[in-house]
Amino acid sequence: MRTPMIAGNWKLHKTLDEAVNLVGALKTKVKDVDNVEILVAPPFTAISMLATKLAGSNIKIGAQNCYFEPSGAFTGELSAPLLKDAGCDYVIVGHSERRQIFGESIEMINNKVKAVLEAGLSVILCIGETLEERESGEMYDILTAQVKEGLAGVTDMERVVIAYEPVWAIGTGKTASSEQAQEVHSFVRGLVQGLYTPEIAAATRILYGGSVKPGNVDELMAQSDVDGALVGGASLVAEDFARIVKFE
């Protein structure tokens, strides 16, 4: 059985005080949940403080990005070892905003995946197509490249989570239907099986990301290949995120 995972990507939101207040409320609301892996990924500035605040709780800490070198003359970057030292358990890699806005290549993303695993952390590898790619029939080719090249050289799949995020559904209010999500998740699981083994594919968690809300999480999570959610805006409201964590 794959343990469901609900991860909150806060993006560029929350001051330190706001972050502490949010996790304080969240910690109370989800304290009895023991069958879901819960993760919050705040801005870098809040990671260390929140790691302390959440110590001993059922909520883990993630980072939204990292650089692939462990140290060196890379002004403005943070490495996986530094994030681990700050208290992180996971690092999100390859988010569509990193690909689309910051121009990260598949090769760079692959290097980041390997760097995160090398540091002893777990990784959430994001994949997803744009609306143009979906409508032009390129979706499966794009997803195949993102999975195969993103995981190139990766042997430790036990610490890899994949998050499917249709770019057209992120922050737009649009959501892939539960049937669309299941279709793509099943395809991605097949890709993992082709790269590794049926057992590894069956054990790999695939999250859905793209305007996940309290109102649509139950239907999404009812799909056999949807193992959780990577939540954006709704993760910034304790009540909404707690409801998603407690999906039915």
With a CB cutoff of 8 Å and minimum separation 6, the contacts of 75 are none
Secondary structure of 1-34 in the HEC alphabet? Answer: CCCCEEEEECCCCCCHHHHHHHHHHHHHHCCCCC
- Regarding beta strands 90-93 and 5-9, do their DSSP bridges make them parallel or antiparallel, or are they unpaired? unpaired
**Considering 37, 95, 97, 185, which one is annotated as catalytic?**
95
If one counts every other C-beta atom within 10 angstroms of the C-beta of residue 76, the result is 5
Among 97, 129, 165, 185, the active-site one is 165
Residue in the structure block whose two tokens are 């290097």: 111
183 counts as catalytic: no
Is 165 labeled as catalytic in the residue annotation? yes
Neighbouring C-beta atoms of residue 79, cutoff 10 Å: 19
User: Catalytic amino acids?
Assistant: 95, 165
